[in-house]
Amino acid sequence: MIRRTFRILGIAVAGAVLSGCYGAKLVKGPVNSDHAARVADTLRTDQQQLLERIQRLEDQIARDSEERTSFQAQTSVTLSELDEAVRVLVSRIEDSEQLSVNRGGRGRSSGSRPSPVPPADSLAQAAEEIYRGAYMDVTRGNYELAAQGLQDYLARFPEGPRAVESHYYLGECNYATERYLEAAGEFQRVVTDYPNARLVPAAYLKMGRAYLQLEERGLAEKAFNTLIEKHPTTEEAKQARSALAELGN
């Protein structure tokens, strides 16, 4: 709509120039072919300059739209990361409090030996520590190191409680390091293996963007449309609609 308006304004201005200033000159001066040709050349030059200015304005509008969409997407990802960081900190505080309670209990016992930690609890704690370390690397932008930690978690605990987050943030690491095909694969794992997870809408959105980077427009549109169909009220769905609009859909 904005581009169409600029085109109409350009035509109107060109018409005004033709009928106004230059028209007056044509009436006042003697009519000859050389003079008419010069006036026509001047009009064409002015019209071309107007069209070039309109094109620059259209390009600026398109860039502004892309920047707004990118900012909205970054804000969404940042909020998700902050939420995850808060959960990690709360979990650490709870672990610290529990450790203090356990130590106090052992101090009050009359010479009894502390109960051994069950192997399952030890594994769960080890898994959580691996994930926490990797996630903190993600928040610091240490994507290569974070990817190693997330891959380690998935190799040792493929069905662990943090598997969905590990796949998603591994996809984020791959996307940030321009490994778009690997990123799309991790996001696909999230939506396929964990369809009810809270990160599914974000995974669909980032999958679509990864496919756009790979110039796979059809796959990108499919990811965006699936997101809108399955999670229509989410912020990610809103961003998917904007992405489709930019693609001309």
pLDDT band at 112 (very low <50, low <70, confident <90, very high): very low
Whole-number percent of the chain with pLDDT over 70: 63
> Cα separation of 199 and 76, whole Å?
12
Predicted confidence at residue 21, as pLDDT, reads 46
User: For residue range 190-219, what is the model confidence (pLDDT) as tens digits?
Assistant: 999 999 999 999 999 999 999 999 999 999
Query: What mean pLDDT, rounded, does the chain reach?
Result: 78
pLDDT band at 100 (very low <50, low <70, confident <90, very high): very low
Lowest mean pLDDT among 58-62, 110-114, 156-160, 245-249: 110-114
pLDDT band at 50 (very low <50, low <70, confident <90, very high): confident
Predicted confidence at residue 123, as pLDDT, reads 84
pLDDT band at 69 (very low <50, low <70, confident <90, very high): low
Using CA atoms of 169, 172, 177, 181 in order, give the dihedral in degrees to the nearest 10.
110
The radius of gyration of the chain from alpha carbons, rounded to an integer in Å, stands at 30
Class assignment of domain 71-80+124-249? mainly alpha
User: For residue range 141-190, what is the model confidence (pLDDT) as tens digits?
Assistant: 999 999 999 999 999 999 999 999 999 999 999 999 999 999 999 999 99
Q: Which residue has the higher pLDDT, 37 or 221?
A: 221
What are the structural domain ranges in the chain? 1-60, 71-80+124-249
Predicted confidence at residue 17, as pLDDT, reads 45
Q: How many helices (H) and strands (E) does the chain have?
A: 10, 0
User: For residue range 127-143, what is the model confidence (pLDDT) as tens digits?
Assistant: 999 999 999 999 999 99
Q: Which residue has the higher pLDDT, 21 or 212?
A: 212
Predicted structure pTM score: 0.55
Structure tokens of 202? 């974000």
Q: Which residue has the higher pLDDT, 6 or 92?
A: 92
> Cα separation of 209 and 232, whole Å?
18
> Cα separation of 106 and 85, whole Å?
32
> Is residue 84 scored above 70 in pLDDT?
no
Structure tokens of 39? 């006036």
